[in-house]
Amino acid sequence: SLTKIKMARYSFDLSFFLARTHVNYEVKEDVAVIRMNDPNSKVNTLSVRMQNEMIEVFNEVLANDAVHSAVLISSKPGCFIAGADINMIQACNTSEEVTKLSQEGQKMFERIEKSPKPIVAAINGSCLGGGLEFAIACQYRVATKSKKTVLGTPEVMLGLLPGAGGTQRLPKMVGIPGAFDMMLTGRNIKADKAKKMGLVHQLVDPLGPGLKSPEERTIEYLEEVAIQCARGIVHKKILLTKKKGMMQKVQDYVMGIAFVRQQIYKNVNGKVMKMSKGLYPAPLKIIESVKAGLEQGPDSGYLAEAQNFGKLAMTSESNALIGLYHGQVACKKNRFGVPERPVKNLAILGAGLMGAGIAQVTVDKGIHTVLKDTTVEGLSRGQQQVYKGLNDKIKKKAITSFERDSTLSSLTGQLDYSGFEKADMVIEAVFEDINIKHRVIKEVEAVIPPHCIFATNTSALPIKDIAAASMRPEKVIGMHYFSPVDKMQLLEIITTDKTSKDTTASAVAVGLKQGKVIIVVGDGPGFYTTRCLAPMLAEAVRVLQEGVNPKKLDALTTGFGFPVGAATLADEVGIDVAAHVAEDLGKAFGSRFGGGNVDVLKTMVERGFKGRKSGKGCYVYTPGLKSKDVNPDIDDLLEKFKLTPNPSVSSDSDVQYRLVSRFVNEAVMCLQEGILNGPVEGDIGAVFGLGFPPCLGGPFRFVDTFGADKLVEKMRRYEEVYGNHFTPCQLLLDHAKDSNKRFHK
Amino acid sequence: MNAIRGKTSFKTAHLLQACPYLTATRSLSTSVQLHAQVQTKSKKTLAKPGVKNIVLVEGVRTPFLLSGTTYADLMPHDLARAALQGLLHKTSLPKDAVDYIIYGTVIQEVKTSNVAREASLGAGFSDKIPSHTVTMACISSNVAMTTGVGLITAGQCDTIVAGGVEFMSDVPIRHSRKMRKTMLALNRAKTLGQRLSLIGSIRMAHLTPELPAVAEFSTAETMGHSADRLAAAFGVTRLEQDEFALRSHTLAKQAQDAGLLSDVISFKVPGRDTVAKDNGIRPSSMEQLAKLKPAFIKPHGTVTAANSSFLTDGASAVLIMSEEKALAMGYKPKAYLRDFVFVSQDPKDQLLLGPAYGTPKVLARAGLTMDDIDVFEFHEAFAGQIMANLKALDSDWFAQTYMGRKVKVGAPAMEKFNLWGGSLSLGHPFGATGCRLVTTVAHRLLKEGGQYGLVAACAAGGQGHAMVIEAYPQ
């Protein structure tokens, strides 16, 4: 009993000394200003601590008779609440536990929603996931028009659903179609759009310099306006039920018809199935939860939401997507430290698709960019690409025409090497020919300063072979961008054993500035990404030769979860590039990289079927048309190279696993050989660079989930028919032998 | 520049009621000594060895009228012509005694794009006098004057007429770009078929007219919106703005009634009456002002129609000479034009902070402190903009963070500040305001017996101007 007393005193003392750290409030006359600020993080998340303190504060505010209303605001400049704490969900072992978490959240927000004292959410910065659900439970929302202010429900991208009332409140707030759009795409909504949708009530402009820093004063101003709103609501100067316009009345009437709603569910369901091929359970559960609420009432709706949330949290898809999220965060950090000097002047050689694409993602990041080509025509094309990229952003209202112009003032197009003496980094994106690359490296090294880094953008040539022509191989590095550069998030950086750490740090820093997700891999033919893709493409060619037409091949690969089918991917990459890579890597790795006949690709190139860029490849591309037909000449061509399929390994499923297992095996081999730093980078590279199915989380997570033993079993079966193309690598065999071995903990 | 006047219904309120309220709430004192005793000061002159003394001989302006009123049917050069004729009349200047004429304007009438030339020809100046037009938003006539100062300093000229004009009753409204393109193509069309096909291509969208931009080109933000954000950034309240606006109108009314606005010439408007007074001065009451809704940022903004300058028609002109020439021609100059600066900064967040940046710079050039200045004339674009500039000038943090200064220069003393009203009350014809400010400083120095005056103004594009003026020994 003595210990009990001691404990009691101890805990009393604790609560005395451990004041609230995450949530605090200040009463300004009749308004309580509740401020959130997680002291241990750049962003606020709805962690257990945050929630507990919030409930405490909320109770005190409700109990305080002097307070008539409240403002909820974050003290962090760029973040309201970034979402729920993912770790909180991952710590659960059963779906029931997760359902309980969801129900606790629902309960808390229900109290907020039913609060007798109006609560105004004052939003500056990201208001996502659980943060948005919190905000929409409040009576009123004011948001800044800052570029950092985004609202959204990104749960679907983690294989989850908005589990704290989001699926129930959103349809009522923004309408059924709007709510589905938000929850099924997970996209970020800017303040202006949010106001139009009815997601926020009032907007506040960000402020410039005054008597305090713009960030600080903007938050203060937001608070002032929110306090005015809170008082306005109390004094009935602001009405919470807005008079409905004609359009709104019509819309409400239409949505009130059960038949119309059924059509919408059906329609949305159809779209989701078409896009996701049924591989992603979250969108379907979102539709289900919304439907439950609207058709069977709130009790069923909230229950469905909580239960579905619990179920989703236990799916392998959610696990995979959350893994990718963590991986992506990890690959947005520079593990090589801060480079000795920042790159302020970047020169790009070659104004082709890649070169101009690299310029496009660099020029608006405050880096002066030189784009050099050898011909006026080539240079003009590249400059036009950069211009168009920026101009398209104006159309999307992401930037103004003035911002385009001032951004473009950082781009210099030229045909000579003038000014290269100021370059901090040169990225060459010239033709993939070792002799040309050697000539270029010599030319460039004659004009650049000693500290300048020479990066080469190649998809397959080993960096050490290119560096052989360099006088300072420690400054040579590979930067493998993916096309189209402005859309593809991945950058694969390749270091040789001579590349210095500072060179790597600098390349990563530039890539991060360009907004890339970065993997840093070792040197070797095809590095990591190209090396994984090559055997899969070789298998795809074999599949084509065995009589599967390109459309069917695409259907099989997308059916497995690849966003782009194998035949379409080959067209996008370029048949000539694929032929080139297949031949090069074939030489480097020998018969293991065989499969389809390289001559299929070569013949296609000879006949001008180089893929999308030439208008014909596996498909025929008509400018302006989205749909594409199979190239009619391809049948004849494939007929010449026809192979007889072996029925024992040619079912649809077998074809899929033949394609995927070769990819996965090569990825594992890259880890085994030390090309890869770890399975996380392997997964990120495969998903973000090559479109490996995100629902599988990458090749390594796939092995963990699917089972190495089962995969090896399949490969052995294919090996019997096709030989060493399917021989599993040692690391994969190790994992197959010991089921405790996993790539991801 | 994007000034507004929404309501024109402020009653000519009881000044006596308004004033005590003002003085009670803030130190924007209106208990002004309009007939201050002429003090004799013995401060040093700002003359610099080897630099010509340049003097303001005279300054005039047409009455500034709310656009759409008595001047409505004129053209810009008509107004400029009236100002020039007024100057000729007042100075008895021979019509061929001027070396160069420079005018400032903002919204250009395309038919008279060199409005300086059209106005000077029409005003009867010799056709041998070259003239050109300059533009720099609300400080256009300041540029006209400093261009003249430059020409005299460089020894190119001795006698300059500078001025400014703005005519907002009529602005160029264009056909849409699509329509213009079609019309220009129509000009070149050779066959009837081509013409018909072009005419047939005209759609409803072609007919949408293009209004002159009311927004900053680089940021697409209207000036009123920017002013409201600026006021918020400096924590300027609605009350402070309304008080300042009321002060401006009250002081303008007092000055008008006392006959102090001697730069205003009377102008017989063709087909209309003779105008002799500014017509935008309307002292109201705080209660009336408080009723207005924000004009730009709704619903929580603080800038209203009443605490912003309004769209104005008007023209001004000044006669600037080298001191030697003025004396040789038998003139008694009013003031020396001394050091001046032009500044510019971020057109988005610091659009209207020109005075805050310009003032410390020009004081440093002239070797003066804020205390040395006897007369301040700042351009009042918006009450919120003026208050923000005053707060910026009075902030060490702002001086250190944004101007690279160790300490602030301090805010001007309100008992020296815009004592005869300002752009908020007198009106603000964009291109013409600069000359009004300079002439007013000269007249106030004479009246109040001060020695140094300071002009400061902001302008679209995030630019600004400041000039030190020294009283001419009487």
The three-state DSSP-derived secondary structure of A136-180 is HHCCEEEEECCCCCEEECHHHHHCCCCCCCHHHHHHHHHCHHHHH
Question: Which DSSP helix (H) or strand (E) runs through A14?
Answer: helix A2-17
Most A CBs within 10 Å, among B300, B349, B389, to test the A interface: B300
CB atoms within 10 A of CB A182: 28
Q: Which of A5-9, A442-446, B142-146, B210-214 shows the lowest mean pLDDT across its residues?
A: A5-9
Contact assignment for B229 to A228 by CB distance below 8 Å:
no
The 10s digit of each residue's pLDDT in A469-494 is 999 999 999 999 998 999 999 999 99
Nearest chain B alpha carbon to A225: B300
Contact assignment for B349 to A221 by CB distance below 8 Å:
no
Residue of A205, A211, A217 with shortest CB distance to B297: A205
Please check whether residue B307 is in contact with residue B289, taking contact to mean a CB–CB distance below 8 angstroms.
yes
B108: which 2 tokens? 């250009």
* Predicted pLDDT at B106: 96
Query: Could you give the residue ranges of the DSSP H alpha helices within A364-492?
Result: 376-395, 401-408, 434-445, 463-467
Average pLDDT along chain A: 94
Contact assignment for A208 to B402 by CB distance below 8 Å:
no
Most A CBs within 10 Å, among B222, B229, B353, B391, to test the A interface: B229
Please check whether residue B452 is in contact with residue B438, taking contact to mean a CB–CB distance below 8 angstroms.
no
* Predicted pLDDT at B1: 43
Active site residue B157: no
* pLDDT higher than threshold 50 for residue A655: yes
The nearest CA of chain A is from the CA of B294 a distance in Å of 14
- Residues near A221 by beta carbon (within 8 Å), at least 6 away in sequence: A204, A207, B232, B233
Nearest chain A alpha carbon to B395: A211
Contact assignment for B234 to A202 by CB distance below 8 Å:
no
Calpha distance A587→B411 (Å, rounded): 78
* Predicted pLDDT at B340: 98
Q: Which of A148-162, A610-624, B80-94, B346-360 shows the lowest mean pLDDT across its residues?
A: A610-624
The nearest CA of chain A is from the CA of B452 a distance in Å of 29
- Determine which one of B19, B157, B435, B458 is catalytic: B458
**Strands B375-378 and B131-134: what pairing?**
unpaired
Nearest chain B alpha carbon to A217: B233
* Predicted pLDDT at B42: 60
* pLDDT higher than threshold 60 for residue A205: yes
Residue A459 banded pLDDT, cuts 50, 70, 90: confident
* Predicted pLDDT at A254: 86
Residue A173 banded pLDDT, cuts 50, 70, 90: very high
3 state SS of A54? helix
Please check whether residue A136 is in contact with residue A166, taking contact to mean a CB–CB distance below 8 angstroms.
yes
Most B CBs within 10 Å, among A207, A221, A224, to test the B interface: A207
* Predicted pLDDT at A249: 84
- Determine which one of A492, A539, A666, A681 is catalytic: A492
Q: Does B325 touch chain A if contact means CB atoms closer than 8 Å?
A: no
Contact assignment for B349 to A212 by CB distance below 8 Å:
no
Residue with tokens 């139009």: A196
Contact assignment for B349 to A228 by CB distance below 8 Å:
no
Contact assignment for B233 to A402 by CB distance below 8 Å:
no
Q: Block means of pLDDT (10 residues each) for chain B, length 474 residues? A: 41 35 40 45 82 97 97 97 98 96 96 97 97 98 98 97 97 92 93 92 90 84 97 98 98 98 97 96 97 96 97 98 98 98 97 98 97 98 98 98 96 98 98 98 97 98 98 93
Residue with tokens 């130190």: B27
A704: which 2 tokens? 């963990």
Calpha distance B198→B426 (Å, rounded): 49
Cis peptide before B212 (omega within 30 of 0): no
The sheet with strand A202-204 has its strands ordered as A23-28, A31-36, A69-74, A119-123, A140-144, A202-204
Question: Which DSSP helix (H) or strand (E) runs through B287?
Answer: helix B286-291
Which of A167, A441, A146 minimizes the C-alpha distance to A291?
A167
**Strands B65-66 and A119-123: what pairing?**
unpaired
Residues of B in contact with A210 (CB under 8 A): 230, 232-235, 388, 391-392, 398
Contact assignment for B219 to A228 by CB distance below 8 Å:
no
Q: Does B213 touch chain A if contact means CB atoms closer than 8 Å?
A: no
Q: Does B400 touch chain A if contact means CB atoms closer than 8 Å?
A: no
Q: For residue A738, is it left (φ>0), alpha (ψ between -120 and 50) or beta? A: beta
Q: Does B389 touch chain A if contact means CB atoms closer than 8 Å?
A: no
Active site residue A224: no
CB atoms within 10 A of CB A333: 10
Residues of B in contact with A143 (CB under 8 A): none
Calpha distance B300→A225 (Å, rounded): 7
Best-predicted range by mean pLDDT among A1-15, A665-679, B39-53?
A665-679
Residues of A in contact with B388 (CB under 8 A): 210
Q: Does B217 touch chain A if contact means CB atoms closer than 8 Å?
A: yes
Which residues in B169-182 are b (16+ Cβ under 10 Å) and which e? bbeeeeeeeebeeb
Please check whether residue A357 is in contact with residue A434, taking contact to mean a CB–CB distance below 8 angstroms.
no
Nearest chain B alpha carbon to A237: B299
Calpha distance A500→A165 (Å, rounded): 52
Q: Does B404 touch chain A if contact means CB atoms closer than 8 Å?
A: no
Taking the CA atoms of A148, A153, A159 and A160 in sequence, report the sign of the dihedral they define. positive
**Mean pLDDT across the stretch A110-118?**
97
Contact assignment for A209 to B348 by CB distance below 8 Å:
no
Residue A18 banded pLDDT, cuts 50, 70, 90: low
Please check whether residue A558 is in contact with residue A277, taking contact to mean a CB–CB distance below 8 angstroms.
yes
**Mean pLDDT across the stretch A329-357?**
96
Please check whether residue B211 is in contact with residue B366, taking contact to mean a CB–CB distance below 8 angstroms.
no
Residues of B in contact with A209 (CB under 8 A): 233, 349-350, 398, 401-402
Residue of B219, B234, B297 with shortest CB distance to A210: B234
- Cα-Cα end-to-end distance for chain B: 37
Radius of gyration, CA atoms only, chain B? 23
Q: Does B215 touch chain A if contact means CB atoms closer than 8 Å?
A: no
- CA triplet A185, A187, A193: central angle to 5 degrees? 120
Contact assignment for B235 to A211 by CB distance below 8 Å:
yes
The 10s digit of each residue's pLDDT in A584-594 is 899 999 999 99
CB atoms within 10 A of CB A2: 6
Residue of A211, A228, A400 with shortest CB distance to B300: A228
Calpha distance A151→A295 (Å, rounded): 27
Nearest chain B alpha carbon to A208: B349
Beta bridge partners of B268: B274
CA A394 to chain centre: 23
Beta bridge partners of A74: A36
Which of A475, A494, A512 minimizes the C-alpha distance to A337?
A512
Contact assignment for B299 to A202 by CB distance below 8 Å:
yes
- What is the pTM for the complete model shown? 0.90
Residue of A221, A228, A400 with shortest CB distance to B232: A221
Q: Does B346 touch chain A if contact means CB atoms closer than 8 Å?
A: yes
* Predicted pLDDT at A3: 43
Please check whether residue B346 is in contact with residue B379, taking contact to mean a CB–CB distance below 8 angstroms.
no
A430: which 2 tokens? 């010239």
Tell me the one-letter amino acid at B280. G
Contact assignment for B299 to A221 by CB distance below 8 Å:
no
Nearest chain A alpha carbon to B229: A207
Please check whether residue B102 is in contact with residue B66, taking contact to mean a CB–CB distance below 8 angstroms.
no
Contact assignment for A221 to B225 by CB distance below 8 Å:
no
**Mean pLDDT across the stretch A96-116?**
96
**Strands A619-620 and A629-630: what pairing?**
antiparallel
Tell me the one-letter amino acid at A157. M
Beta bridge partners of B210: B174
Q: For residue A539, is it left (φ>0), alpha (ψ between -120 and 50) or beta? A: alpha
- Residues near A734 by beta carbon (within 8 Å), at least 6 away in sequence: A741
Cis peptide before B299 (omega within 30 of 0): yes
**A·B CB contacts under 8 A:** 59
Which of A201, A154, A197, A144 minimizes the C-alpha distance to A172?
A197
**Strands B267-268 and B335-344: what pairing?**
unpaired
Residues of B in contact with A202 (CB under 8 A): 299-300
Which of B437, B98, B1, B387 minimizes the C-alpha distance to B261?
B437
* Predicted pLDDT at A19: 80
Residues of A in contact with B299 (CB under 8 A): 202
The 10s digit of each residue's pLDDT in A505-532 is 999 999 999 999 999 999 999 999 999 9
Residue of B217, B299, B350 with shortest CB distance to A209: B350
Calpha distance B25→B119 (Å, rounded): 47
Radius of gyration, CA atoms only, chain A? 29
